[in-house]
């Protein structure tokens, strides 16, 4: 029960801000103090939710998925310029890399021209979003291509019908850019251990393994340089969707590669 304060008339005209209210058994507080505590509690909960969300985003970026953007048309129409994609970092480890997978890999072989050191300040907020994985890091040198040959595979361009063959099996590639040939550059390679042979879907506009056979790596990509498998187009919204690896294209590829005499040999 509210009591009269000494020295003040108890005529029922008390200031509402001074009128005590009960907040649970045995606890008395003012309505103004209760509102302040409620606001503080709400702000604390919001901060906790934001912190947990950022922590989860960072852990996802570190161990599961990572964002990248597409700067060129070498993978059209599968990926278009300025697409934002999420990459599954559980491929190639612990999950197996497969022919047809679209992979993002570090440019350790010098396929890309060197970029000048960034001088512009991107701002702390953008840097924070990049750090937790909500924005792609545009400062690093990465490429995105499709895996055509795994270690031990013999990849040849081309058969009498102009198709690429893997271990003697011709590929019908529905993901190619409309009007593009499987390859205008002839080649005959066997993929070394721990390497892959990669090509862009827009073959006429892709400086892929074919264009880098003069590099120290011979045009092959080290599996250890692969950041992961491109899994989802996340932006723009009208292109959002999952990215497939077209297993039917490679279903007939044998696990043995023919040697130069045409005899099949077990893949190393």
Q: Of 143, 144, 126, give the one whose Cα is nearest residue 135.
A: 126
Please state the three-class secondary structure of 161-223 as a single string. Answer: CCCEEECCEECCCCCCCCCCCCCCCCEEEECCCCEEEEECCCHHHCCCHHHHCCCCCCCCEEH
Burial class (CB in 10 A: 0-12, 13-18, 19+), 192: middle
Handedness of CA 198, 199, 205, 211 (dihedral sign): positive
To the query of whether residue 61 is one of the catalytic residues in this protein, the response is: no
Query: Would residue 74 show up in a list of annotated catalytic residues for this protein?
Result: yes
Q: Which of 41, 139, 145, 209 is catalytic?
A: 145
Q: Which of 8, 38, 41, 74 is catalytic?
A: 74
Helix (H) or strand (E) run with residue 147 in it: strand 142-149
| CB neighbour list of residue 165: distance below 8 Å, 6 or more residues apart | 155, 156, 157, 158, 159, 171
Task: Write down the H helix ranges in 64-186.
Answer: 124-132
| Active site amino acids | 74, 145
């Amino acid at each position: 029960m509210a009591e009269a304060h000494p020295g003040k008339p108890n005529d029922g005209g008390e200031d509402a801000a001074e009128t005590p209210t009960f907040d649970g058994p045995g606890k008395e507080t003012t309505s103004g103090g209760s509102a302040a505590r409620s606001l503080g509690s709400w702000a604390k909960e919001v901060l906790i939710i934001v912190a947990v969300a950022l922590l989860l985003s960072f852990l996802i970026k570190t161990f599961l998925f990572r964002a990248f953007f597409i700067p060129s048309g070498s993978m059209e129409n599968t990926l278009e310029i300025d697409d934002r994609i999420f990459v599954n970092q559980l491929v190639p480890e612990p999950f197996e890399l497969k022919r047809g997978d679209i992979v993002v890999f570090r440019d350790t072989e010098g396929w890309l021209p060197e970029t000048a050191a960034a001088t512009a300040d991107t701002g702390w907020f953008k840097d924070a979003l990049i750090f937790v994985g909500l924005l792609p890091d545009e400062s690093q040198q990465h490429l995105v291509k499709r895996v055509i040959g795994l270690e031990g595979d013999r990849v040849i361009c081309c058969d009498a019908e102009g198709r690429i063959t893997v271990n003697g099996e011709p590929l019908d590639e529905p993901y190619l850019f409309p009007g593009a040939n499987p390859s205008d550059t002839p080649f005959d390679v066997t993929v070394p251990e721990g390497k892959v042979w990669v090509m862009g879907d827009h073959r006429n506009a892709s400086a892929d393994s074919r264009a880098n056979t003069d590099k120290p790596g011979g045009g092959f990509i080290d599996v250890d340089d692969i950041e992961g498998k491109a899994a989802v187009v996340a932006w723009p919204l009208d292109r959002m969707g999952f990215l497939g690896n077209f297993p039917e294209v490679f279903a007939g590829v044998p696990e043995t590669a023919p040697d130069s005499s045409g005899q099949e040999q077990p893949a190393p």
